[in-house]
Amino acid sequence: MSNSNITPVGIKLHTKSRQLELSYDNGESYSLSCEYLRVYSPSAEVKGHGPGQEVLQIEKLNVNITAIKPVGNYALQLVFDDDHDTGLYAWPYLYELCTLHDQWWQIYLDRMSEAGASRDPEVQVLKL
């Protein structure tokens, strides 16, 4: 896809369902949960400063987006209700989040399971 095709033509935040809907000029449309967007934030706080430095984000099940700020013509800054607001979602990265959703979501769930962690802040996981 060319750069012009990875720029969304429609962006809608559904706060009740905690979903961000993105539509593209080729007819593709995606709905991403705020949780997914938060745990895959492009910020250094989440990604680290290099391979292997990623920080697993736990207890983000109920996180929501409180603001969407355009950054030039190349990205969005998402502000989450857990006070996370760093990291710019450049158009190519946002499109990757859309098209690789199923694969990346499963990786996240597997990492959570391996860590014995929970997506829900009200659930404590014990390993015996």
Q: Residue 128 above 70 pLDDT?
A: no
- Check residue 110 and give its pLDDT: 96
For 18-42, how does the pLDDT look when each residue is reduced to its tens digit (9 = 90+)?
Answer: 999 999 999 999 999 999 999 999 9
Buried residues in 87-99 as b, exposed as e (16+ CB within 10 A): bbbbbebbbebbe
In a domain, 120, yes or no: no
In a domain, 124, yes or no: no
- Quote the domain boundaries for residue 33: 3-115
- Check residue 126 and give its pLDDT: 52
Give me the phi and psi of 12, to 5 degrees please.
-130, 130
What is the sign, positive or negative, of the torsion defined by CA atoms of 56, 59, 61, 66?
A: negative
Q: What is the mean pLDDT of the chain?
A: 92
Instruction: Calculate ∠ Cα 50-53-56, nearest 5°.
Output: 135
Q: Residue 5 above 80 pLDDT?
A: no
- Check residue 125 and give its pLDDT: 56
% residues pLDDT > 90 (the chain): 84
- Check residue 49 and give its pLDDT: 85
Tell me the pLDDT band of 52, cut-offs 50, 70 and 90: confident
C-alpha to C-alpha distance for 21 and 69, rounded to whole angstroms: 15
For 67-121, how does the pLDDT look when each residue is reduced to its tens digit (9 = 90+)?
Answer: 999 999 999 999 999 999 999 999 999 999 999 999 999 999 999 999 999 998 8
Quick one: which of 56, 29, 53, 40 has its CA closest to 116? 56
In a domain, 128, yes or no: no
Give me the phi and psi of 101, to 5 degrees please.
-50, -55
Q: The domain that contains 57 carries what CATH number? A: 3.30.2020.30
In a domain, 125, yes or no: no
Total domains present in the chain: 1
- Check residue 127 and give its pLDDT: 55
